[in-house]
Amino acid sequence: MPGPVQSIERAAAILRLLAQGSGRLGLSEIANSLGLARGTAHGILRTLQMVGFVEQDEATGKYQLGAALLHLGTSYLDVNELRSRAINWADALAARSGEAVRIGTHLQGKLLVVHHVFRPDDTLQTLDVGVLLPMHATAMGKVLLAYDANAAAAVPDGDLEPFSRRTIRTAKELTRALSGIREVGWAADVEETTVGEASVAAPIRGYGGLVVGAMGISGPIERLCDPHNRPRPDLVTFVRDAARAVSRDLGAPRW
Amino acid sequence: MAERYVMSIDQGTTSTRCILFDHGGRLVSVTQREHKQHFPRPGWVEHDATEIWRNLEQIGPKALAQAGIGSGEVAAVGIANQRETTVLWDRHTGIPVTRAVVWQDTRTDMLVEELSRRPDAYIVEELCGLHVATYFSAPTIRWLLDHTPGLRERAERGDVLFGTMESWLIWKLTGGPDGGVHVTDVTNASRTLLMNINTLSWDDTLLDFFGVPRAMLPEIRPSAQTYGAATRVMPGVRIAAALGDQQAALFGQTCFAVGEAKCTYGTGSFLLLNTGHEPIRSTHGLLTTVGYQIGDEPAVYALEGSIAITGALVQWFRDGLGLIGTAPEIETMARTVDDNGGCYIVPAFSGLFAPHWRSEARGIIVGLTSYITKGHLARAVLEATGWQTREVVDAMNADSGLNLRTLNVDGGMTANNLLMQFIADVLNVPVVRPMVAETVSLGAAYAAGLAVGYWPDLEGLRRNWHRAAQWLPAMDPALRAREYDSWQRAVERTFDWIKPHEE
């Protein structure tokens, strides 16, 4: 059993300090109060600032508690914000893969489509932003189940709703599939939602590696998969690279 | 095959960005750095041109590093820039003589009024297609020459140079005091009030009118042509295009045919319509401007409708009112209600631009009742952008005699689905977002790639264009008419707020 992590203890002390009194303190005041070297206190404050727990007043340079702390209980990243931050990389993924791109988040046991880029062949397609899809039968949904404990907890016990012959049917089967997804870092749906259709998705992460959504491509099985119905490795790489690029922009650590 | 990418530099009002594109017009890497906005007095807005240059020195190499390539693999670089912003610098030291005066700066309002009252003022619009206004470069140059001791003499001797941001960056990239190339392109020159819109050269009558010495002006060149090779930041790379940002977006949207239009939704919004090889004079408050010129081919003209405040209203909602934490959250808040609840916001923060051109108008919120929530206000904020677009499209249809059939959109606000649907609803035409939302950068890259033969022709560029999203009109026509009427009545209520010389 490892001992307590010193920097987390110190970060907690800084937050407690800022939560008291006037709530606005300078670097020296914070460092002196906690008996820390200025450099140490500054490093911790900068990290807390990066994750939004602390804000620095531009004029005075003083620190105060950040707005993100107040919203800890609610959604971590606004879905419209997510779309806005991901839009360039989603476009690039569609252009590179030649397939339609979607970004999804978890909403009350379903997968909510928050962004959709058309397949770049200029055929007639309809935006399906706002549509709800099943979690256990889509690549994006399975990614969220694999990495988001709350999403996984929202899956009902018992048998899962079948959409095709290949849909995952039991909780046990799902658990096995999710651990496989965590191992490789991406998920696929091969005819699990619709016969003849496949999708590939990877997680989008924010600060600290927290998964905030999933990003993926979907299309006909003969384009997305090899003759053995396995997703084409080049497409998987495109999807993972794009999701990583969005994550990097959102402040996720490299992985 | 070593050369595989084209780089674009987008020198914008708030930041400078470098983007690398591949042959398919796909984004490969992006770097960005914001620069400081200086507000030394009310109405004054300045940038430090040296800071912007230093930012470019950082983000240029970083963009290459991100893509894992060297400058040898860059076929060409193109520049798109904030338009009209005026830089004056010393040709011998390479140091700006003052901070750059940004297009939003209104210090020249008295001078503009004075110039507009001159009996020969009609000649300006006739020769250059624009009316005298504070954001075009000529009054700013004149103001700086008048207010900086000794500057006029230095300018007349050619010791002090004028340029918009693309001129400044090209000059710096090609060596600065050490052999720097002093050029501008037709689109940027068309925003100075000093270029003849028909001959595409500096016009002596206009130079006389504004009192600007010819010796300080850059040479006017086509938008797509090799101006020189960089000696710094990315040594050896050819600098092969420059366009004003809005013209770059028109080019990036591949609006190459007469009647094709795009609207870029940013802080302000700019709708440009390709009108072909003849400049069309507007009778409905639009500007005549150069769209682009490729090498020695004839120039393509455009009609432009500019809306001052669109994204800026969202920023105000965020920073001024503090009702949202980030700009995209406006959509979340707006979706908490089904309609505007009878509330309208007309953001005439510094008057109204096209098609009204009322500098004395100021913003209003009308239709307030106790029923109105912040959700309704958020809707009214977004709808203001939709209705302002509608007003400009109506003016364009009237001037050009063409009926807009599709609106190509780009810019940051295209991530807002609620807004895009609303625009389709109020225009009653499909709104289409192309696969690369970064059309300003893409346009500069396209022009540069075209100039050096990286892309063969316009048709080749068109093939790179793909539809990423489309919003179809779905509003009941009666509701549309009723809402438009309410909007127009709200607009009327902004007029005549500022009395002359009150400010």
Candidates B304, B292, B223; CA nearest to B268 is: B304
Continuous segment of H or E residues that includes residue B52: helix B49-67
Per-residue confidence (pLDDT) for residue B384, from 0 to 100? 97
Q: Which of A84, A118, A121 sits opposite B469 (nearest CB)?
A: A118
Residue B326 to residue A125, Cβ atoms within 8 A? no
Q: What percent of chain A has pLDDT over 70?
A: 95
Residue A120 to residue B435, Cβ atoms within 8 A? yes
Candidates B64, B40, B36; CA nearest to B50 is: B36
Mean pLDDT lowest among A60-64, B6-10, B295-299:
A60-64
Give me the interface pTM, i.e. the ipTM.
0.77
Q: Which of B27, B330, B332 sits opposite A92 (nearest CB)?
A: B27
Q: Would an 8 Å CB–CB cutoff place A36 in contact with chain B?
A: no
Q: How far apart are CA B234 and CA B64, in angstroms?
A: 9
CB contacts of B24 in chain A (<8 Å) are 95
pLDDT band at B1 (very low <50, low <70, confident <90, very high): very low
The structure tokens listed for B106 are 């209104």
- Dihedral (CA of B310, B316, B321, B327) sign: positive
The nearest alpha carbon in chain B to A242 belongs to B28
Q: Are B147 and B198 in contact (CB under 8 A)?
A: no
Residue B471 to residue A127, Cβ atoms within 8 A? yes
The nearest alpha carbon in chain A to B66 belongs to A245
Output A76 or A42, whichever has higher pLDDT: A42
Residue positions counted in chain A: 255
Which residue's structure tokens are 């979690």?
A135
Beta bridge partners of B88: B162
Q: Which of A83, A88, A125 sits opposite B27 (nearest CB)?
A: A88
Which residue's structure tokens are 């800084």?
A14
Average pLDDT, chain B: 93
Q: Are B86 and B144 in contact (CB under 8 A)?
A: yes
Residues B184, B188, B192, B193: what is their CA dihedral angle, to the nearest 10 degrees?
110
The structure tokens listed for B107 are 């210090």
pLDDT tens readout for residues B307-357: 888 999 999 999 889 999 889 999 999 999 999 999 999 999 888 888 888
Mean pLDDT lowest among B216-225, B357-366, B418-427, B483-492:
B357-366
Which pairing describes strands B183-185 and B219-221: parallel, antiparallel, or unpaired?
parallel
CB contacts of B471 in chain A (<8 Å) are 127
Q: Are A142 and A189 in contact (CB under 8 A)?
A: yes
Residues A77, A78, A79, A82: what is their CA dihedral angle, to the nearest 10 degrees?
-60
Beta strands (DSSP E) in B138-233 are 160-163, 183-185, 219-221, 224-229
Q: What is the DSSP letter of B454?
A: S
Q: Would an 8 Å CB–CB cutoff place B323 in contact with chain A?
A: no
Beta carbons within 8 Å of B229's beta carbon, 6+ residues apart: B174, B235, B236, B237, B238, B239
Q: What percent of chain B has pLDDT over 90?
A: 78
Residue B469 to residue A81, Cβ atoms within 8 A? no
pLDDT tens readout for residues A216-236: 999 999 999 999 999 999 999
Candidates B106, B105, B19; CA nearest to B67 is: B19
pLDDT tens readout for residues B96-105: 999 999 998 8
Three-class DSSP labels, B106-157: CCCHHHHHHHHHCHHHHHHHHHHCCCCCCCCHHHHHHHHHHHCCCHHHHHHC
Per-residue confidence (pLDDT) for residue B503, from 0 to 100? 47
Other Cβ atoms closer than 10 A to B224: 26
Is pLDDT at A68 greater than 80 in this prediction? Answer: no
Which pairing describes strands B238-244 and B74-81: parallel, antiparallel, or unpaired?
parallel
pLDDT tens readout for residues A191-202: 999 999 999 999
Is pLDDT at A26 greater than 80 in this prediction? Answer: yes
Q: Would an 8 Å CB–CB cutoff place B436 in contact with chain A?
A: yes
Residue positions counted in chain B: 503
pLDDT tens readout for residues B382-403: 999 999 999 999 999 999 888 8
Which residue's structure tokens are 């300078």?
A26
CB contacts of A129 in chain B (<8 Å) are 417
Q: Are B423 and B416 in contact (CB under 8 A)?
A: no
Instruction: Pick the most confident of A152-156, B129-133, B450-454.
Output: B450-454
Candidates A105, A85, A18, A4; CA nearest to A53 is: A18
Is pLDDT at A242 greater than 70 in this prediction? Answer: yes
Per-residue confidence (pLDDT) for residue B85, from 0 to 100? 95
Residue A78 to residue B328, Cβ atoms within 8 A? yes
Q: Are B184 and B219 in contact (CB under 8 A)?
A: yes
Residue A81 to residue B329, Cβ atoms within 8 A? yes
